[in-house]
Every structure is written in structure tokens, then in C-alpha cells.
Amino acid sequence: MPDLSALVGQELTSVEFIQDHLILHFDGPTLTFFAWPDVFREEGSYAFGEPEYRNHLCGIIAEDVTAATLEEGEAIEIEFESGIILRASVREEDVETPVAGQYSSGGDFQEF
């Protein structure tokens, strides 16, 4: 299980939408989601495919991460300085792929 604490203080530099997954690029580390994360904002939450989902993800580019946790068998959660939270379940019954995602820091990939 990867230690995501190195993401805290990192700036999100780009959001990459691939056909069936999402890649977040930071000042070095990369976080890949094979299950689309939900976006939680003060006024509500947004799931993949809903209006404004992509806009809210792109809106956090250049923001710093203030918290990053991975609760084994439950969920991954990344919080940004604006208060926006990205959350994705890593529960086996919620993930349609063998792994929910990958974390890379310095070329070393760790699955979750």
C-alpha cells in the first residue's frame, strides 16, 4: 500500500483524461485512478459523466494538496487547498479492474 503523505504540499500540475481512467500529475509524483474519483465541493458532489465534473477537476490545477490518505480496502482521498476533495472507493466490489489505481514517485509504481 503506497504512502501518499509525499503528496501533501505538492502542486497539481495537470489532469489527464484517458479513455477509461484519470491521471493526476503533481510536481513529481503521479496518481492514476482506474475508478473515477468523485469530486466533493462545498455545494455538492460530482461523479464522472455529470455536468461540470471535468471543469471542477481542471479547476484545481495549480492547487496544493493539503491531505492525502489511502484507507486500505476502503477509499483514497485527496484534499486540495480550496477544500475540494477527490475520493474514490478502492473496495473490491466497487472496482471493475484488478487494481483501483497506481501511485508513482520517482519511477516506482505502487498499486492500490
Residue 108 in any domain: the answer is no
Alpha helices in the chain (DSSP H): 53-58
* Count of domains forming the chain: 1
Query: What's residue 95's pLDDT?
Result: 87
* Residues sharing a CB contact under 8 Å with residue 14, sequence separation 6 or more, in sequence order: 24, 25, 61
Is residue 1 scored above 80 in pLDDT? no
Residue 111 in any domain: the answer is no
Does the pTM surpass 0.85? The reply is yes
Residue 101 in any domain: the answer is no
Q: Per-residue pLDDT tens for 70-98?
A: 998 899 999 999 999 999 999 988 888 88
Residue 42 in any domain: the answer is yes
End-to-end distance of the chain based on CA atoms, in angstroms? 6
Residue 31: exposure state from Cβ atoms within 10 A (0-12, 13-18, ≥19): buried
